[in-house]
Amino acid sequence: MTAPKKLFIKTYGCQMNVYDSERMAEALGGQGYVATDRPDDADMILLNTCHIREKAAEKVYSELGRFRGLKAEKPDLKIGVAGCVAQAEGEEIIRRQPLVDLVVGPQSYHRLPEMEARARNGEKALETDFPEEDKFERLKNRPRAARGPTAFLTVQEGCDKFCAFCVVPYTRGAEVSRPAGRVLDEARGLVERGVREITLLGQNVNAYHGAGEGGDWSLARLIRELARIDGLERIRYTTSHPNDMEDDLIAAHGDCAALMPYLHLPVQSGSDRILKRMNRKHTAESYVRLIERIRAARPDILLSGDFITGFPEETDADFQATMDLIEAVNYGQAYSFRYSTRPGTPAAERPQVPDEVATDRLHRLQALITRQQRAVQDAMVGREVGVLFEKPGRQPGQMVGKSDHLHAVHVQAPDLAAGDLRRVRITASGANSLAGELL
């Protein structure tokens, strides 16, 4: 019997890349590949890349350089680059790193089996077009193996917003929503395999308008239909844009029990001048009013956001406006970054803020966010929450899971198993997690 070939995938970036890596593994599973967590044990190495952060391409080239000796030892080893750096760099990757055998963009990974076959025949395989066929439909038959209790499910891809700092519209293409029926079918399949919580993914997931019965469905309608699937206990979604928070989605946060009280809603800046320069098409005031409406629908919702410091031409007054907005909203979690130039984007051509100024602002902003996050966590002590347990903790008899609000919670309970959903009273707040006891 022929031994299976082994596949090592290293995933960079967001949850959508995690989902894509799963689907790439499934695509190559049909070619006889099984997963390995060791690159030196692999017959194929795939780097699934992200192009959002500074020097993303150079980091990929550096990673590829580390495989040069391995390739020399194993001439039959195939190496591929996938994802957004692959889309942006294309043939340049093969030119700069001849050890690369295939380059595949995020919209073409359903073509991996045929690309792998070409690579095995000694060809260099490159696919970075935006194909007309539906990659999800081509890969709809997922393996039936059991899964953990949580899963990602991509429902929307691409972006039409063209924020001045972002490369996503160029690497992922225009906004496209998957048909509602196909999303529901995939969700049912995940639940049959043991999944109890699904996070819906999209570059602008709340821009979802997928074809369904009676016309295009909104994200809110999709969530309500998903909530009717027996065994699907929890639904989340990310990442959202303030301009796509429609009334029915806000209402769903109040009346759909399966939709968890957590919302990641990036604002990027609290300065209207900078927001305009970013091409965000909302104001700080409109964002704060939107938050008020969401909290009116779901008072206990935990809010998360994204922030960029040092955006080109940002002044001290602009930065202070961001700090004021953070104070006004009171975030339970946030992701913050120093602006990094992305070649080809409008912001890259503008006067840049000195690195030391942007870094100082980032540290000050992160200190404020940390204080807010810790205060929100501390306020959880004494409250009762639902916790979906996922894995054993570091101590004997300990299990760790996520609360309704996405906090990590650990409980001493030897009889718990992954997939158990239990009510827990929070007893203590740590640096990055909560402790609780079963009710």
Q: Where are the domains of the chain?
A: 5-127, 135-378, 384-438
Q: Is 256 annotated as a binding residue?
A: no
Query: What number of CA atoms fall less than 13 Å from residue 184's CA on the CB side?
Result: 19
The Cβ of residue 104 has, within 10 Å, a number of other Cβ atoms equal to 26
pLDDT of residue 130: 62
* 50 annotated among ligand-binding-site residues: yes
| 173, pLDDT greater than 90 | no
Query: Is 14 assigned to a binding site?
Result: yes
Domain 135-378 has CATH 3.30.1330.60: no
pLDDT over threshold 70, residue 136: no
Q: Reply yes or no on whether the pLDDT at 299 is more than 70.
A: yes
- pLDDT score recorded for residue 328: 97
Q: At what angle do helices 219-226 and 180-192 cross, to 10 degrees?
A: 30
**Rounded Cα gap, residues 97 and 413, in angstroms:** 51
**What whole-number distance in Å separates Cα of residue 233 and Cα of residue 227?**
7
Query: What's the rounded mean pLDDT across residues 253-272?
Result: 98
Residue 364: is its pLDDT beyond 80? yes
Cβ count within 10 A of residue 262: 24
d(CA 217, CA 208): 8
Distance linking the first and last C-alpha atoms of the chain: 52
pLDDT at 57 (0 to 100): 75
**3-state DSSP assignment of residue 340:** coil
Identify the CATH class of 384-438.
mainly beta
pTM, two decimals, is 0.83
Distance CA 187, CA 113 (A): 25
pLDDT at position 134 over 70:
no
Tell me the one-letter amino acid at 277.
Answer: R
What's the confidence (pLDDT) of residue 131? 57
Mean pLDDT in residue range 70-86: 89
Strand spans (E) along 24-114: 33-35, 44-49, 78-83, 102-104
The answer, yes or no, to whether residue 129 has pLDDT greater than 80, is no
Q: How far is CA 275 from CA 63, 155, 317, in A?
A: 35, 27, 13
Which tens digits make up the pLDDT trace of 2-57? 678 999 999 887 777 888 888 888 888 878 899 999 999 999 999 988 776 666 67
354: which DSSP letter?
P
- For residue 402, pLDDT over 70 is answered with yes
CATH code at 5-127: 3.40.50.12160
In this predicted structure, the answer to whether residue 86 has a pLDDT above a threshold of 90 is no
User: Which of 53-67, 71-85, 219-233 is predicted with the least confidence, judged by mean pLDDT?
Assistant: 53-67
Strand partners, 237: 200
CA quadruple 417, 259, 236, 338: dihedral positive or negative?
A: negative
In angstroms, rounded to a whole number, what is the distance separating the alpha carbons of residues 278 and 342? 13
Percent share of the chain, pLDDT over 70 = 95
- Is a pLDDT exceeding 90 seen at residue 110? no
Q: What is the pLDDT of residue 146?
A: 59
Q: Over the chain, what is the mean pLDDT?
A: 91
- The pLDDT of residue 50 is 79
What's the confidence (pLDDT) of residue 138?
59
> pLDDT at position 268, please?
97
Question: pLDDT band at 139, cuts 50/70/90?
Answer: low
Q: Using alpha carbons, select from 37, 30, 27 the residue that is nearest to residue 7.
A: 37
> 341 phi and psi, to 5 degrees?
-70, 130
Looking only at the bridges linking them, the beta strands covering 434-438 and 408-412 are parallel
Residue 418: pLDDT band by 50, 70, 90 thresholds?
very high
- 238-246 average pLDDT score: 95
Residue 368 to residues 275, 324, 405, Cα–Cα distance (Å): 21, 10, 20
Percent with pLDDT over 90 in the chain = 69
Sequence-distant (6+) residues with CB within 8 A of 154 are: 16, 19, 20, 136, 178, 200, 201, 202
pLDDT at 19: 83
b/e per residue, 56-85, with b = 16+ CB within 10 A? bbebbbebbeebeeebeeeeebbbbbbbbb
Q: Is the pLDDT of residue 128 over 90?
A: no
Give pLDDT, residue 249: 98
228 C-beta neighbours (distance < 10 Å), count: 9
pLDDT for res 83: 83
Checking if the pLDDT of 291 tops 80, the result is: yes
